[in-house]
A and B are shown apart, each in its own frame.
Chain A
Amino acid sequence: MTELIPPFEFHRIFVTPWTQDFASSVWIAAMGFLVATACGLVGNYLILRRMALVGDAISHSILPGIAVAFLISGSRGSWPMFIGALVAGAVTTVLIEVIHKKSRVKQDAAIGIAFTSLFAIGVILISLFASKVDLDQECVLYGEIAFIPLEGMVELAGLKLGPPSVVRMAVVTLVVALLIGLFYKELLVSSFDPALSFSLGINSTFVHYALMAMLSVVVVSAFEAVGAILVIAMLILPGATATLLSNRFPVMLALTVLHAALSSVLGLHLGVWLNCSLAAAMVVAATGLFVLAWVFAPEQGLVSRFFGGRDVVTMPPNSAEAPQ
């Protein structure tokens, strides 16, 4: 056990990353923050719309799209990856719909069948052509956030912006934030009250597919950093934590960003301490924050509910759901 968990050396864990390894640490933390922010913002809407597991399905099923794009283009260019992932995402959505509508298989099983099949195809492609593409099973599982290439910094007007992957992720995050800002009302209304949104003339179907497209783009840009499975955590954890802390949606969005920042920095230190996968460590840190919120949240936390004695803002239990 002692060799498994390295001793807790304050200096090595908290000081060295910001002194000796400043260049890599800062970009890793920035990347983690950007990924968690972009995913968390989109994830908030998934949670509201009870589509958290659709996020799970999409993040798994873009894998064959990415693999095929790698095989065809032979490189890790962003555009082939985006296109491949979008196509795979669309195929998943269509498959789920077809299985669900054309047979008596229920939607949950249809989701389960569609994304596992596509993911299996992706894994087989990667295993078969592992030597030809710069992509392996480890990358699929937990990404390579620790190996951000520091060469070839993107420069704009003589100003060094950062490594290409970080800049790309920053652009995606900004676009997501911008879209959410622009269509804030539409997204909110169609997520909370489809009937009202219909009467206001908001096309719910369009909003749904736009959100799915945004999800696909976010998931594929996060793929390199955190892999295909941990991205689910990035999608759900910030929003879930924020839901426990606030009842107001704008505050929840702000808390999402805060959660993303905290979990990426804490995760970096945790990963340095334990010497394990940094992406996984960031998710573990995010989980820790969620558990803290769960226990100590001012109104809905376990502690305040236990001592407060009043039953706060619990939704009525849905009797149709199977017991867990």
Chain B
Amino acid sequence: MTFRSPSPASPALLLRTAHPLLTPHLSLLTLLVLTLPAHAARIGDISETSLWEQALRFFTFQDPAVRYALLGSMLLGISCGLLGSFLVVRKMALVGDALSHAVLPGVALGFLWNMSKDPVAIFIGATLAGLLGAGAVHLIKQTTRLKEDTALGLVLASFFAVGICMVTMIQRLPTGNKSGIDKFLFGQAAAIGAADVQLMAVVTGLAVVVIAVFYKEFLVTSFDAGFARAVGLPVQAFHYGLMLLLAFAVVIALQAVGVVLVSAMLITPAAAAYLLTDRMHRMLLLASLFGMAAGALGAFLSFLGNNLPTGPFMVLAATAVFGAAFLFGPRHGVLARWWRQRSRAARIQRENTLKAIYHVLEARNFLGEGVSFSELAERRRETEEEIELQARSLARHELATLPGEGDALFLTPAGWQTACAIVRNHRLWELYLTHTAQIAADHVHEDAEKIEHVLGEVVVRELERRLNYATKDPHGKVIPAVPVTLDAKPEATPGYGRSL
């Protein structure tokens, strides 16, 4: 990823004004909080309604429970997307996984505080457990020879097991069974209440403000810790700050996504955003948007089927977004890459045909303009059908015309220019290799065949200068000048208008 190079001035001089990142997030947050309704009912209370009725109920937003579920899901999407982005660019995706499993005993403890689903108690308990887990990973790595992956797996599994023990013990209690603590495992957006949404809004707001205010510091410590240390930033402090925010994001997402799948909400939207942009602030925005969309979609889908867990649906919605970015991303998408490769291969093919035309013309001392297919086929050792296909491709790109019966090619000015440029690149490179790199003249052709298609204008100028504007290649052939024609299209001209 490329970023504006951070200011080398002291950290005090780093920008502290409100970052552009802050504005859209804050306005969205205010909107979400303002629409908070006052009462709540449980969606789960109503059962046996048809799919369409459920969908209607969802989209009319009459039911406050629906509004809570939707708001909560969107809020958690924002905070998870924001903080997950830092995990993804720091290659710490699986730290998120370990952290999210490790909060389970804290959830159970928070629940035991007064035997109810008190959001604040659960929040505190889960955050403590998450931080304890992160600390344990750090300690195991520091004091044993176990590697990071083992330490993560250890903490993940053992904390989770302790949590499961406690959850099964709570469920055994007379009051515990109806407590809904099992909803924390796979998530149930319908269980989100007014107090939950308020807590989520506060935490998400905090995350947005902290990241916006310390944006540069987080950026520098994430991408270049050495530089950050050199300018005197407390790298460790920012690392732990990020861990704390991450624990917050995981904990507020628990109710809706569940302990088991929370890590996906951290990783997947952020990874999708990572595929679409090279700028961190855009990635943060996109990731929170994707997270929000996945949250809303997951809440909706799980609402359609009454008692389905929400977490898996949100995760699949996020995966769908990732899949779309993976396939159709404009720059890093699989399709875009495939298309680029294909068009590059086609261009090289056209340039090779033009070169062959030049060779044919050169062999007869540039007498006569047209080049017949049979001449070309002989030159390129291909069948006339293959040559015809290539000729049509040239004609499509207005590099040549096929007048009359269509069995001969006439180059257009642009075609002639391109042909000259390619041959020029080839011969210049051969000369450079024999002349400067002292490679035998019969060993340079293969290399020049490859490089002739990629040499940029600046390099060609430099080659010409170094070779003293030579006019003959090592085999004694003339290095053609590239004719300047006003109506020629520079797009298809190697060495002109294209950089390496």
Contacts and interface: CB of A to CB of B under 8 A. Distances in A.
Interface in B156-178: 156-158, 160-162, 164-166, 168-170, 172-173
Contacts of A105: 88, 271, 274-275
Interface in B315-369: 315-316, 319, 322, 326, 329, 332-334, 337
A142 B271 contact: no
Interface string A31-48: 000000000000000010
B332 A103 contact: yes
B460 to A, nearest CB: 31
Interface in B119-157: 134, 137-138, 140-141, 143-154, 156-157
A274 B96 contact: no
Given A53-B149, A112-B94, A117 B172 contact: no
Nearest to A106: B91
Given A108-B93, A313-B145, A142 B168 contact: yes
A324 B94 CA distance: 12
A9 interface: no
A1 B114 CA distance: 10
11 contacts: A47-B150, A105-B275, A109-B270, A111-B94, A119-B260, A119-B261, A120-B311, A128-B305, A142-B164, A236-B150, A324-B137
A111 B158 contact: no
Contacts of B91: 106, 108-109, 322
Contacts of A305: 143
B141 A141 contact: no
Identify whether the interface residues of B are mostly helix, strand, loop, or mixed: helix
B162 A284 contact: yes
A128 B313 CA distance: 12
B432 interface: no
Given A113-B319, A116-B264, A141-B185, A4 B156 contact: no
B146 to A, nearest CB: 6
Interface of A: 1, 3-5, 47, 50-53, 55-56, 99, 102-106, 108-109, 111-113, 116-117, 119-121, 123-124, 127-128, 137, 141-142, 229-230, 232-233, 235-237, 239-240, 243-244, 274-277, 279-281, 283-284, 286-287, 290, 294, 300, 302, 305, 313-315, 321-324
B454 interface: no
B157 A104 contact: no
A290 B93 contact: no
A1 B111 CA distance: 12
Contact of A128 (B150, B225, B308): B308
Contacts of B305: 128
What interface size band does chain B fall in? 35 or more
B401 interface: no
Given A142-B164, A230-B157, A240-B154, A4 B173 contact: yes
Nearest to A1: B112
Contacts of A280: 161-162, 164-165, 168
Given A123-B311, A230-B157, A284 B93 contact: no
A230 B162 CA distance: 10
Contact of B168 (A233, A277, A286): A277
Given A4-B173, A236-B150, A322-B90, A244 B275 contact: no
B104 to A, nearest CB: 10
Nearest to B239: A323
Contacts of B151: 324
B134 to A, nearest CB: 7
Contact of B88 (A52, A109, A229, A287): A109
A142 B260 CA distance: 12
B308 A116 contact: no
B466 to A, nearest CB: 36
Contacts of A51: 149
B95 interface: yes
B387 to A, nearest CB: 35
A287 to B, nearest CB: 4
A117 B317 CA distance: 9
A66 to B, nearest CB: 15
A52 B150 contact: yes
B440 interface: no
Contact of B268 (A112, A230, A321, A323): A112
A104 B276 CA distance: 10
B202 interface: no
B309 interface: yes
Contacts of A237: 154, 157-158
A120 B88 contact: no
Given A52-B152, A120-B316, A128-B308, A294 B144 contact: yes
Nearest to A104: B332
B172 A56 contact: no
A321 B148 contact: yes
Contact of B145 (A127, A128, A141, A314): A314
Contacts of B138: 324
Contact of B165 (A47, A53, A277, A290): A277
Given A229-B260, A324-B141, A277 B173 contact: no
Interface in B4-61: none
A236 B268 contact: no
B144 A111 contact: no
B308 A127 contact: yes
A230 B154 CA distance: 11
Nearest to B275: A103
Contacts of A106: 88, 91, 93
A5 B170 CA distance: 10
Contacts of A111: 93-94
